[in-house]
Structure 1
Amino acid sequence: MTYFRSYSKLSTSLILVLLSAFLSGCSKEWFDEKADKQTTVPDKLADFQNLLDNLLTFQQYPVLGEIASDLHYLQDARYEIFPKGASTDAYIWSKTVRHDKVSTWNRSYAKVLTDNVILEGLEKIDTSNPSVAIEWKNIKGQALFNRARVFFELATTYAAAYDKTTAATSPGVVLRQTSDLTTPNERSTLEKTFERILLDLNEAYKLLPQQVSILTRPSKASTAFLLARVHLYMDSYEETLRNINLVLAQNSTLLDFSKIPSIRTTIGRYNTEVLLHSNFVDGAVTSALVERTYLDQYQPGDLRKTVFYRSTLTTGAISFKGNYEAITTNLFNGFATDEAYLIQAECYARLNKIPEAMQVLNTLLKSRWSKSVPYIDLQADTELEALQLVLTERKKELNFRGVRWMDLKRLNKDPRFAQTITRQVLGQTYTLEPNSYKYSFPIPDDVIEQGGISQNSGWEK
């Protein structure tokens, strides 16, 4: 089992037993026997924090949606290298082989299982000591935040785009809220899924500290950020704006791109824009390239063209390097202030506060601009013009961040922004229509065969 980093013998052995039992569908008797022999169930706050600080569990997020999104491509030779499965099928919006042991599903529910073990264990701890109570609240807030984030990412991957008119009947995700492995797996509705996400996040916000010194741990600001992302996906713009204003009141720092050498291979981990650090690892994304036409969108003076991308001298292939990480094999998909500015600008535009939207957008872009080229403020007269400008900059700023799939799904509901995507792979053309059933990935075959979960419509055999 390579998913977990060993912070302590207790943490590692417990996770291995829980995950093995959960993913194999073993009986409760098997679990009890293994637990008795190999682990001591954690009962100290330090143990729970060790579990939450396990970086390979809680700070790595496999993202099928990023593979399937439209702003990058794989060369045929690279595509052929990868073993055929859920990732390669996501790239062509198809299902050509069985999907077993899918990382996006298994790792996500491993996180949920660990969160539930922590939440249940916390209920047994005496909090009469004030210092213990403070730590207890922080740990509970972290576990609730983590579980909510996983449920949200699962919903944007395996469920249809949120629509309040159909959410009460549309399938959501499995909302496991117990570590009891005998509890049946059942899909909730999309409405219930988002109710649970918001409940967990609102409770986490009350419990977490205002600031954190360790950027892999959530704070009030990063919780408000995730609340803003969720409400944006739900088209709830006033709530989105309220939460993102809380974020920017805490940290509105933007990097000055004129001070970043273009020769840098990454922008760097834990930089001043980062509110919460996490990443995803997938060769199908880290090997991806962008088209020259995409790069041509950046205007003269826009430093993102050279800070975010590099061109190979021999082939001219354009690869991404604008990564808020320390290494090129991992891609940052955490929370940062540049995205917060774009969320705020979009909300102002949608609420017909056009001057405010343009002021926020121009503030962001000026931080990305060369000192040797005069910056001319972007202007808009209508809501549509403002939205078009904001959404264009969102594509240019947040590529390879793990949010594009979410954006495609939510924007496809609006005919003004819906788009058809095509890919050429090995001489064959693949097409993804707006609002296609393919925007909900197929539930893995081994999960379907374990029973209790229905396949997403359109992917049935």
Structure 2
Amino acid sequence: MKNTIILIFIFILLLLGPIGCTSFLDVKSDSKLAVPTSLEDYRALMNSINNSLAVPEGEVMSVDHYLPDDEYDALFCQTDRDLYRLEDSPMIQECDGSGGWALAYGNIYRANVAIHGVEAFEKENGISARSADVKGQGYFNRAINLYELAQVWCAGFDPQQAESTLGLPLKVTDDFNEKTVRASLKATFDLIVEDLQKAEALLPDQQSNIYWASKVAAWAYLARVSLYMQNYEKARVYAEKCIQSNFKLLDYHHVDGGKKFPFNVNDNSEIIYPRFLTTAYYSISIDVSHMDSVLYQSYGEGDLRRSLFFNKKDGALLFRGDYGGGGGGTFCGPTVAEMYLIKAECAARTGKLNEASSTLQEFLSYRLDKTIPVPETTVLDQVLWERRKELLWRGIRFGDVKRLNRLGAGIALKRTIRGKEYLLPPNDSRANILIPQKVIEQSGITQNPR
């Protein structure tokens, strides 16, 4: 009876809660304690609500929005305060829930349990479409969590230096006793791409439930990852696959702007995969964080996003363009709109200027008032600016700054708090934030250099 209770308890932990970063990396396992064994058990693991939650630290450090001084003073969590002002934090304090490191490695652990569990199940029962789907979810979830971790804790990807650059601890088994070491950045991204390609092969073209990843979701993340790796031809191909899929651009001309939050997940044809920034940090709450006024002014009068994305309240400029409908963490998953912008950027970078121009114009025809002529442009800067405006508050900007700075963009991040300026220069090592101190102490892995 006692053993049965323990088994049930462990399964509930796997299903509902993130495995803490140190427990996954360092806690010794007990081989006597069983884990889920049926295909439905592994499917339930991949249905955990935490699998839809994403790493938030990059958004905290984004400077497209800011806190009024009194709201900053009210931050109760030191880690939140440190990240917000672009300063090093040992992340010794959990804020309102687990931070990105613990959350992501908990998701990775569940994915590993599912992958290896389904493989064992298939040896006994044979391969079916259902078992392939569950295993594909495991590879997909492991990949996207590693990708989000890498954008925050690792240097921006440079193909010439990736082999000698620190990457992440790569956990591909469910063995708690496995030695923890940091792989190279190249090995980290090789695994991410390999996992997404395995997911692509296993997942069906469509799912009845949008929260269950499809083949198109794998393509979308392959487009994201390839763009980050400066592999523009592959990113363009995968983005085009998504554009040609059953997901379609949302026409902003038909969005009801009279609602407090004009968008939601269920009625949005362009959402490829719903994913949301965890609400661990109060500083990225759309209820209190204000928008940068200069960025707001870049949305012209004929830009439908100007009214659909923003709301003025008591003199404050607030964001209301959350595709999640303002409930909980903000939406950060891939959309067809993002795929248009990836395709346009990649076409521009590879000399396909006509394609870049036509792709951008087609996208903007869904975002600009029909009385405003769509601008004709082949300028890469215009594509990048539209990307910044469209993908606001999606957990994307921080990774974009790192990848663009690797290409010489020279983007510095700056915040001002009570008159004091805090600056993160281009390619500064502090953009690769410190691994939580508890993980360093218990695992002995190399900390990010300073």
Deviations 1:131-159 (A, max 9, x none): x5111111111100100111111111100
Number of equivalent positions: 433
Q: For 1:16 and 1:298, locate their aligned partners in 2 and report how far apart those are by CA, in whole Å.
A: 41
Alignment partners' CA distance in 2, 1:64 and 1:255: 28
Q: 1:97 to 1:278 in 2, by over 3 A?
A: closer
**Deviation digits for residues 196-253 of structure 1 (CA, Å, limit 9, x no counterpart):** 1111111111111011121111111110110010010011000111111111111351
How many Å separate the matches in 1 of 2:17 and 2:427?
Answer: 40
Give the letter for the 1:362 counterpart. Answer: Q
**Pairing 1:161-310 to 2, within 5 Å after superposition:** 161-251=156-246, 253-266=248-261, 267-270=263-266, 271-282=268-279, 283-286=282-285, 287-310=288-311
Shift of 1:330: 2.2
Given residue 150 of structure 1, which amino acid in structure 2 is its aligned partner? N
Unaligned regions of 5+ residues in structure 2, if any? 1-7
Q: Does 1:340 align with 2:339?
A: yes
Could you tell me which amino acid in structure 2 is paired with residue 426 of structure 1? R
1:48 partner amino acid: Y
Counterpart selection for 1:155 from 138, 141, 150: 150
Report the residue type matching 1:109 in the other structure.
Y
Bigger shift: 13-22 or 41-50? 13-22
Give the Cα–Cα distance (whole angstroms) in 1 for the partners of residues 13 and 336 of structure 2.
Answer: 37
Larger RCO (alpha carbons 8 Å, 6+ apart): 2
Aligned to 2:372: 375
2:103 — aligned with what? 107
Q: 2:8 aligned with 1:12, yes or no?
A: no
Q: Which residue of 1 aligns with 2:418?
A: 426
User: Are residues 422 and 17 of structure 1, via their aligned partners in 2, closer, same or farther at CA, if it must alter by over 3 Å?
Assistant: closer
1:37-58 Cα deviation digits (max 9, x unpaired):
xxx5211111111111111x10
Contact residue 11 and residue 50 of structure 1 kept, 8 A: no
> Which amino acid in structure 2 is aligned with residue 103 of structure 1?
G
Task: Quote the RMSD (CA, aligned, Å).
Answer: 2.1
Provide closer, same or farther for how the CA distance between residues 122 and 328 of structure 1 changes in structure 2, counting only shifts above 3 A.
closer
Structure 1 unaligned segments of length 5 or more: list them: 1-7
Show the counterpart of 1:85: 78
Contact 2:274 2:332 in 1 (8 A): yes
The aligned runs of 1:37-76 (5 Å cut-off) are 40-55=34-49, 57-76=50-69
Higher alpha-carbon deviation: 448-457 or 224-233: 448-457
Alignment match, 2:447: 455
Counterpart-to-counterpart distance in 2, 1:291 and 1:436: 23
* AA of the residue aligned to 2:355: E
Q: Offset of 1:93 from its aligned partner?
A: 1.3
- C-alpha separation in 1, matches of 2:201 and 2:91: 43
- For residues 55 and 174 of structure 2, what CA distance do their matches in structure 1 show? 22
TM-score (norm 1): 0.89
Aligned residue runs from structure 1 range 403-422, under 5 A: 403-415=396-408, 417-422=409-414
Tell me which amino acid in the other structure corresponds to 1:210. Answer: D
* Identical positions, percent: 30
1:116 aligns with 2:128: no
TM-score norm. by structure 2 comes to 0.91
Q: CA deviation at 1:13?
A: 4.2
